[in-house]
Structure formats: C-alpha cells, structure tokens
Amino acid sequence: MIMRSVTKILLILVSAAALFVGCKGEQYPEYQYQTRLVKQAFLNSEITVYQGKEIEIQGIGFTVGDKIIFRTADGVEYVSEIIAVDDTSAIFLAPDMPKGEYTIYISRGEKQQKVCAVMVYLTLSLDVPEKEGCSLRGIVHVGDTGLAGVWVSDGVNFTQTDEQGFYWLESDKRFGYVFVCLPTGYLPATGSNVVPGYWKAVSIDANLHEQCNFELKAVDTSNHQVFFAADLHLSDRAIGPNAINDLKQFDQGFIKDSKELAATYGSNTFLITLGDITWDVHWYKSGFMPASFVSKMKQYPLMMFNCMGNHDNNPYVQGDNNGSKVYRTTIAPTYYSFNLGDVHYIVLDNIEWINTDGANGFVGARDYYERVDEVQLQWLKQDLSHIADKSKPVVVCAHSQFYSNRNASFKPNRYMQNADKVLDCFNGFTNVHVMTGHAHYNMTMELRDNVIEHNVGATCETWWQSTSASLLEGRGINRDGAPAGYAVMELRGSDVKWYYKSIGFDKSLQFRVYDMNNVKNERWTSALATQEPARDTGGDDYAELESNAIYINVWDYDSKWKIEVYESGNTTPLTLTRVFDRDPLHTLTTDIVLGKSGMLTEDLATVRSSHIWKAVTEDNDTDLTIKVTNRFGEEFTQTVTDRSRRKKFEIATYIQ
C-alpha cells in the first residue's frame, strides 16, 4: 500500500496552446507584437509539481520579479514570482493552489500578458523518501497501490520500481524529463490523449531532489490496433493554387478517415505519429508550433504516442539539444519505450539537428544529420536488455527511413548513417518492424531475416499540394503515386498484420491500374519541360513505352505479395515486369496543375516509383482482370473493361 503524508503532489496539465510572438528585427515583421512583455512565452504541456517546486517557463524577455498569476474563472489568484532568468526561459516556484481550471498571466507593474489556460489536479498525498545520489524519485501506482517491477528512465539511465512501487533514479536531468516504460496491461491514468501522462518534465537543476509520480490504470491491450501517421506538416496556412488551409485538409482527410476507421475496431486503437507534425520554417510566420498541435489534437479520440521529425525542431536555435527543447517540453520525450499487449514499442529520434546560422529571430539552414546518436544507442541497448523473450514483437518508430529501395534495382540501400549499427542491437530478436516516414514515399523493405521496414507515405501527401491542386476530401497523392494515407498495424497477441490505409477510400484500395495508351495520348512534354527543366525525360515520360502497356502501382508491395493480370477468356496470366517509372496520376493531379500555376518545383514533382509493375497486352480491346494478393492471403481484384481502356485519362476515373 502507498505510504501517506501531508505533502501534496500537484499535476498541472497545460491543455491549451501558448501564444508565440516575434520580436523586433526578425525576418517576419508581420508577427511583431511590441506590447508583449515576453515573446514566445509558453509553459510545459505537462509538469508535475509540489508547492515550492521550481518550474521553468519558456520565453524571451523575462525579468526577475515578474509575477506569474494563476487566475480562476471567478477571479481568485495564486501568485508566484520569477526568481531566475536566462535568454530563453525563467524559473518560478509553484504556489499552493487547489484543483481547478486557471488562466496563467505574466504581470509586470501595471501590464499583464495572457499565456495559456491550465488545469490543475491533485494526486495522492504521499511522500517517497529521498535517497543519496538520486535526484529523481517517485511512485508508479494504480489507485492507491504501488506497482512493482516497472522500468523508469530519463533517457540515459534506467531504474525499476520496488515492491511498493517506489523508484529512485540517478539523473543529471540533461533532457529535462523522466518517463515510465508502460508495462503490459497498463495505460496512463493522467494527461490527455495527445499528451498522455507516461512522462513528466523535471527541473533543470541536477542538484535538486524532486518527486515525480506516475498513475496508471489497468487496461487489457492484448488485442489492439495502431495507426502510424507520417509527415503531417501542419502550419495553419493556405496552400496550393486554390489556397486551401492545411488544417482544413487535415480535418477533412486524416481526422475524419481515422476516426471512422477506429470506430469499426471498437476499442484499443492508438495513434503513433512518425515525425514532422509541424513545419519549422513556418513556426514564426503562422504561429503554429508544437503547443498549437497539442491544442489542435486535444479532442482527438485516440491515445497518441508521438515521434519527433526534423521539422519539429526550433529553427531559431542551433544544436540538437537546444533544437528539440520546445518539442520535448510540450509534446513528448525525443525517445522512449512502452508496451501494448505482447508488443514492445520503441520511439527513436534519428534526426541530429545542426541548423547552421540559426539565431534568435532568424531561421537557420535547418540542416541535420540522419543518425541515432551514441547516448541514445546505449539507452536502446539497455532498453532491449530488459526483454527476456526475444520472440516478442518489437516495433521501432523513427522519422527518417533507415533504408531506401527507390532505385532501378529495387534493392534496399542504407539511408540513415548508422542504420546497420542500430539494427545490430536487435540481433537475436525474431520479429522486428521499423516504422518510418520522411520520404513522402511508400516502401516496404525486408532488411534482414528478422527486420522489415515500413516507410509510410505521407499523411500530407505532396506537402498538401496535390489535394489543394485538384482533389477533395483529403484524397491526395504522394510523389510515388501512393495515396495520402497512414499505416495500420493489427496486433492480436504476438500475431502482427498490417496494411496501408488510403485516406478517403475503403481499405480494400491497395493498387491502381493505368492503361498507358490513354496516358500516352496526353502530350505533357511542353508543360513539364517549361516548369521542370530538370526532368530527365523533358516531360515525355512514356515516349519509349510500347503500345498496350498496363501499369499497376502496388504501393505496399513486398516480396511475399503476388500480382496477376488476366486477359478476358485466358487462364494464363500475362508476364509482368517490375519497372522504375513515374506514376501518371500524380503527374496529372500535381505536376500539370502546379506547372500551369508556376508553382511546380523539383521537390513537389513526381518521382520514379519502386512498386510499379507492367504488363503488355495484344491490343486494347480486351477486358482485363487484375488480382493482387498480399502476404496474408488477402485478395484484391479490379476489372478493366475494353471500353474503359479507350477512355480519356482523367482524374475522375480514379478519384470518385
């Protein structure tokens, strides 16, 4: 049972976005607010405090003596003062306040500045005794009972709770957080769906002994589903020729689609984002930052576990630890692990932020390395050492792809600098899945006998450009022809199945078929050559393609899939050839539309795809049946009639 005392532990959940503003002399003068006391002010999205605990509030322009006011709706105030400041943050001591909703203000003399809304909760009254050399301590509990054997980490070291549920951790607090590795059968009982309470922000003072508690609840997740959404690139801007706001596209597409799909499963469905949930270069132009994402997603019904991408770093600062500070004090640790059912999940940060020339008020080069640093690598080895059963499925999530098969040989080539070193950590494990994004391109690659990488196409497709250009209801297209979408993994005990879910379509949509005679009739050469001179074909991508060819784009293809094409009346399938070529529908929906408006760039243009197959028929007046079977034995069929083969190649044929 839990030991009790009069010490109150407060849990503050910062549930609304803070206000971020510019400063005089920035690149973006339209976002100057000269009346602000503090610029870029915000609090951590979830922090655990007690009366008198040091709390860090971020912002530029604090002075010692500034007051921090917690004000209730009926005007009752609880006040503290800033006791220390640096260039980008300040420290105040938590006041003694009851459970309730508050609005936080900064006060200096006669001036006040609103920061954000907060909700304060009281947890159990308990006191975990201090232990020499351990700057962090606490209890992991369910109700009033401590939970033994739970791993707790600060991103460097691990410790395990004792029989009372108590833990003590030697920590230098370099990352400013502590997290519990959720044990099988439990979920956080505190926090929100977007920021679940499996982690706590801690003070920056390694000499300060502080207590952080974790309350869990028992939930049977033996059978569960996970949606993996990569590259949201939210910035609250009007994008594309039709100037459609990206948040509107996100709501009409992913939010609507994923909520509907989750409803069909009933329960135990989770979301893992795979990085680039925001768009760094627009942080200080549009004001949409990590705290804005928390506010945006606070009503989303699925519990989320977030992964950091390169575009989630602060573009005003240099260095990886500085760049990730806003993210890791607002959304999640940069790397951590947890268990759902029989599956162990690991979130890694494989972006090492450089940002050459970045400075306060000036966006830097936003350059970075794609690798897992040595501190994180050692943490990963420790984490895996806690898994006794090496047949246990392990799902590794990171932003940048480890490998890429986007080449004419279709073989996976190393993309992340130390990919092999990371994969070596999983030697002995038999069922490892790596979930990545970053490429805006779909690739399923068998890297080793025990490792499959799923590089997931972007939720924002071609950075919201294909949807904005010509499509509706989120039905955009990635540059490889894969629809905008997300991966779905179904976990039944230790059994793992997966599929790619195209936004706005039934989950049975697993490929598209193009009669290339119709495509070749569209002479795109002049439009593409003018707008994209670097295109090596000059825009006429299919000039050398034989007549009566059929292209089949199977975006989730791997070596255990089977593709068959039958002509009417024949029982022998046509010969298939895997080709490295461009998807014509993305060219039609995006390259042509953006080219005509002068907005086409090499980054947005259609790229050659590694998952297109070609069949050649005798002529174009026969019906075709295309049957695609995935590695789980599920069949997907499509019939192409002789009449449809002679129709004009147009968007309406594919986007109903």
> Could you give all domains of the chain from N- to C-terminal order, each with its CATH number?
10-122 (2.60.40.10), 136-217 (2.60.40.1120), 225-502 (3.60.21.10), 512-653 (2.60.40)
- DSSP H or E stretch at residue 440: none
10 Å CB burial of residue 43 (0-12, 13-18, 19+) is: buried
For residue 476, pLDDT over 50 is answered with yes
Split at pLDDT 50, 70, 90, the class of 18 is very low
- In the prediction, which pLDDT does 527 show? 56
DSSP string, 99-153: SEEEEEEEEETTEEEEEEEEEEEE-----PPP-TT-SEEEEEEETTEE-TT-EEE
What is the structure's pLDDT at 27? 39
**pLDDT one-digit tens code per residue, 163-183:** 999 999 999 999 999 999 999
pLDDT (0 to 100) of residue 525: 53
Compare 225 and 29 and report the one with higher pLDDT.
225
Read off the pLDDT band of 335 (50, 70, 90): very high
> Residue 565 corresponds to which tokens in the numbers above?
């094409």
Question: 69-75 — which CB contacts under 8 Å span 24+ positions?
Answer: 69/104, 69/105, 69/106, 69/107, 69/112, 70/95, 70/97, 70/102, 70/103, 70/104, 70/118, 70/120, 71/102, 71/103, 71/104, 71/105, 72/100, 72/101, 72/102, 73/101, 73/103
Tell me if 315 sits within 8 A of 358, measured CB to CB. yes
Q: Backbone phi, then psi, for 529, in 5-degree steps?
A: -65, -35
Tokens, residue 144: 């009033």
pLDDT of residue 13: 32
Question: Percentage of residues in the chain with pLDDT exceeding 70?
Answer: 89
- Residue 16 is predicted with a pLDDT of 31
Low-confidence winner among 187-196, 291-300, 642-651 (lowest mean pLDDT): 642-651
pLDDT reported for residue 194: 95
Which amino acid makes up residue 367? D
Query: CA-to-CA distance for 278 and 624, rounded, in angstroms?
Result: 44
Say what the pLDDT of residue 8 is. 34
Instruction: Give the tens place of pLDDT for each residue, 30-73.
Output: 333 345 799 878 775 555 566 777 777 878 899 999 999 989 99
List pLDDT tens digits, range 287-326.
Answer: 999 999 999 999 999 999 999 999 999 999 999 999 999 9
Q: What is the mean pLDDT of residues 621-637?
A: 95
Q: Evaluate if residue 238 carries a pLDDT over 60.
A: yes
Which pLDDT tens digit goes with each residue over 543-572? 889 999 999 999 999 999 999 999 988 899
Predicted confidence (pLDDT) per residue in 418-460, tens digit: 999 999 999 999 999 999 999 999 999 999 999 999 999 999 9
More confident residue, 49 or 609: 609
Q: What's the whole-model pTM score?
A: 0.85
123 vs 138, more confident: 138
Tens of pLDDT along 2-14?
Answer: 333 323 333 333 3
Query: Which residues have CB under 8 Å from 475's CB, separation 6+?
Result: 253, 467, 483, 484, 502, 503, 504, 505, 655
Q: What's the pLDDT score for residue 158?
A: 98
**205-220 pLDDT per residue, tens:** 888 888 889 999 999 9
- Please indicate whether residue 409 or residue 99 has the higher confidence score (pLDDT): 409
DSSP-derived secondary structure letter, 648: -
Q: Is the pLDDT of residue 622 over 90?
A: no
Residue 20 — pLDDT band, cuts 50, 70, 90?
Answer: very low
Specify the pLDDT at position 180: 98
At 183, the amino acid letter reads P
In this model, does residue 28 exceed pLDDT 90? no
**CA-closest candidate to residue 44, choices 189, 199, 182:** 199
pLDDT tens digit sequence for 133-164: 999 999 999 998 999 999 999 999 999 999 99
